[in-house]
Amino acid sequence: MLSSIEVSSSILAANFANFEADVKKVEGATDYIHIDVMDGHFVPNLTFGVEVARAIKRVTNVPLDSHLMVDCPEKLVDGFCEVSDIVSVHYESTYHLHRLVQRIREKDVKAFIALNPHTPVELLEDVIMEIDGVLIMSVNPGFGGQRFIPNALNKIRRLKELRKKSGLTFEIEVDGGVNEETYQLVIKAGADILVSGNYVFKSEDPVKAIEKLKSYKKDISEG
């Protein structure tokens, strides 16, 4: 649970021929660089592996937030833990989620669980006390620039309720279609961290875009 909104800028919408230049554009404003790792199996798109994350780590001090959209995340997780502050693994991608979450936390990295749009937040009830955050997908994972799925708001509210009921403090991150039209609704519903790709990197002034996302104050009175 955070007292102010954080932004994680997704380089899926950056210039793949020059990540460094785009990372530099958001460096003073963004809280994280969001790294969308896709394997062409778990999602119908292929992006980058740990070597790209390492290369980005070498050119910036902004913490990395790695989102693994891959089958068998166990095979990749250790490398991403070396360079990331947050590692998100999908509920739908592994048989042994509890073990995987433990493995991430043992490395002093924040373990988040990502949920596809069809996966109810209530399925996390027996692991929720072991994690640092939940990544609610508000689009189907695989591509940037998609339209926000409104039911994500309902899921954020239910997750916030679950957090309150269980007296926990995990963070709620929301990913997909977060832009000028949707960010206030997402914050009002209970988000702590907003992932944004196209809205940030395709805007004329990425810093201004991030500042806008952070300008709407969250209501922290009810946990």
Which stretch, 1-9, 20-28, 64-72, 100-108, contacts Zn ion (CB under 5 A)?
A: 64-72
Under the binding rule (CB under 6 A), the answer on residue 206 touching ligand DX5 is no
Let me know if 126 is a catalytic residue: no
Torsions phi, psi of 18, nearest 5? -160, 70
| 73 vs 144 by CB, closer to ligand DX5 | 144
* Residue among 22, 65, 175, 192 flagged as catalytic: 175
Residues 79-138 that bind Zn ion (CB under 5 A): none
Give CA 90 to chain center in angstroms: 11
Let me know if 36 is a catalytic residue: yes
| CB-facing half-sphere around the CA of 162: CA atoms within 13 A | 21
> Integer distance in angstroms from the first to the last C-alpha of the chain?
8
Given 73, 133, 177, 206, the residue binding ligand DX5 (CB under 6 A)? 177
Least spacing, CB of residue 19 vs ligand DX5, in Å:
14
Given 73, 144, 190, 206, the residue binding ligand DX5 (CB under 6 A)? 144
* Cα–Cα dist 78/95, whole Å: 17
Q: Are 184 and 176 in contact (CB under 8 A)?
A: no
Residues designated as active site:
36, 175
